Amino acid sequence: MTFSWTPHRFAGGALALDVANSVVLRFDPARRIDRYADVKAIDAFAGAANNLCAERERTGPLVSVAPERRAAFLDLREAIDLHFRAEASGEGTPTRLAELLEAIADTLRHSGNRAGALDAATAHSALRLTVNAAPDRLKICPNCGWLFLDKSRNRSRTWCDMAICGNRAKASRHYYRHREEANP
């Protein structure tokens, strides 16, 4: 299955969350898609992040993860997802935080001095989120399950991307409402 890294795929609001969101429908085993299952997708992600990531000005130009560090990068992705998903659900634990910090430390320790390495930039992004993100700003999209930062003034954002998930949810409600009216 081919796809492209579109602006929607960078709806998380932080590089770390965009990396975690590279697994689509994470909790639906029948439809789950790991975008990084194809190694070329990691390389393409780094290139797309240069233009689409919310933190692109902070990270500078990104280059892909070194081949020998890809497994560790995927471990970092999973630690990010587990920790921030638990935080967004109000179920964060010191153990999840420790696992995330260990994955960040491992990444930074072994990423070397590669300028703009995607794995190091992702680790820095996760660290910034750990320190600076207000818990009520971190949310889970009820449509797709992606993590995102709610940067709206009144913290009322519901979906990761209104144009995609918001419209799907509204269309679904409309369909069922009209179907019930037609079949009382």
Pairing assessment for the beta strands 23-24 and 138-140 based on DSSP bridges:
unpaired
Residue 170 belongs to domain with CATH number: 1.10.3300
Is 1 within the bounds of a domain?
no
Is 114 within the bounds of a domain?
yes
Per the structure, the complete domain to which residue 56 belongs is given by 7-182
The secondary structure element, H or E, covering residue 148 is: strand 147-149
Is 83 within the bounds of a domain?
yes
Q: What is the pTM (predicted TM-score) of this model? A: 0.87
Q: Using alpha carbons only, how large is the chain's radius of gyration in Å? A: 17
How many domains are there within the chain?
Answer: 1
Is 61 within the bounds of a domain?
yes
Residue 132 CB neighbour total at 10 angstroms: 9
Mean pLDDT by 10 residues, the chain (184 residues): 76 94 92 92 93 90 93 97 95 95 96 84 96 85 91 84 68 55 66
Is 2 within the bounds of a domain?
no
